[in-house]
Amino acid sequence: MANLKEIRNRISSVSSTMQITSAMKMVSAAKLKKAQDAITAMRPYSDKLTELLQSLSASLEGDSGSKFANQREVKKVLLVVITSNRGLAGAFNSNIVKEVNNLTTNKYANQEVSYLVIGKKGNDALKKTDNIIANKSEVFDDLTFDNVAEIAEMLMDKFVEGDFDKIEVIYNKFKNAATQIIMNEQFLPIVPMEGEANTSTDYIFEPSKSEIVEQLIPKSLKTQLYKSIRDSFASEHGARMTAMHKATDNATELRDQLKLTYNKARQASITNEILEIVGGAEALNN
């Protein structure tokens, strides 16, 4: 059994760790509320804009927007990998990296795959592949629509110029603090809405369809990417809050076990001292 000093040191160490994880949990909980409100308010607008875009995409042939709906033979693929800049968030980042590796080795095994990473953890995991075309992790330092729009414009330019035939976004979608859903969404080319949804809505275009589409598509794509990053940002804080909550609970349990061990060791030490004193007294009497 470890001596009392060693047990006291371990109790102190575990208590310090528990205080740190508890503080991180509270910080993430505070940030989560703001991030959750932002993505909840944005989703209806983004979803409706995407729905409108998909409905129009069936009639884009020959219009100014057709360059974003151009279905080419897929030879070069760009994966936009959204992770976080910091760790201590459970499997938040590792799940995204696993999904990216799975896509690279299975779905796109016969294509040339490159990556655009948003988040330092994703960059650290994929930098050994030498296929990273850009690292935009600094966007989390000032997460605004304008900063994300610059990334979306770069993606659109690379698709139109033929650098890539397909662009997909991989990120964690926020469901609640304890649940994040891995999403794999096609960014470009635009995916038309399937079924009767393409023709069921009769739109009246003013001033003209080409002018409306020309403005709508870039805005929709920028909004789609911004929503994905916002989703990932909220998911990160939810995952970290959950991870730190579990870490705090584990530290508390370990500390209680160590205290019990310490009390047993202290009781055994006192009992041994009493026995020694009694034994010494008996020896003197004899």
- Residue 197 has a pLDDT of 45
* Whole-number pLDDT of residue 128: 87
State how far the Cα of 151 lies from the Cα of 197, in Å rounded to an integer: 30
User: What is d(CA 80, CA 184) in angstroms, rounded to the nearest whole number?
Assistant: 10
pLDDT band at 193 (very low <50, low <70, confident <90, very high): low
- Local structure of 283: helix, strand or coil: helix
Across the range 20-30, mean pLDDT stands at 92
As a whole number, the mean pLDDT across the chain is: 87
For the range 22-29, what are the long-range contacts, defined as Cβ-Cβ under 8 Å and sequence gap of 24 or more? Answer: 22/244, 22/248, 24/88, 24/240, 24/244, 25/240, 25/241, 25/244, 25/245, 25/248, 28/237, 28/238, 28/240, 28/241, 28/244, 29/237, 29/241
pLDDT digits (tens, 9 = 90+) for 1-10: 568 888 899 9
The more confidently predicted of residues 130 and 125 is 125
The pLDDT of residue 2 is: 61
**Can you give the pLDDT at residue 27?**
92
Burial 233-255 (b: 16+ CB within 10 A, else e): bbbbbbbbbbbbbebbeebeebb
Mean pLDDT throughout 173-186? 91
What percent of the chain lies above the pLDDT cut of 90? 58
Domains with residue ranges and CATH for the chain: 44-241 (3.40.1380.10)
- Residue pLDDT, tens place only, 236-256: 999 999 999 999 999 999 999
Task: Output 280 or 14, whichever has higher pLDDT.
Answer: 14
pLDDT band at 64 (very low <50, low <70, confident <90, very high): very low
Q: What is the Cα 188 distance to its own chain's centre?
A: 21
What residue ranges in 164-207 does DSSP mark as E strands?
166-176, 179-188
pTM above 0.85, yes or no: no
> Per the structure block, which two tokens stand in for 103?
């896509």
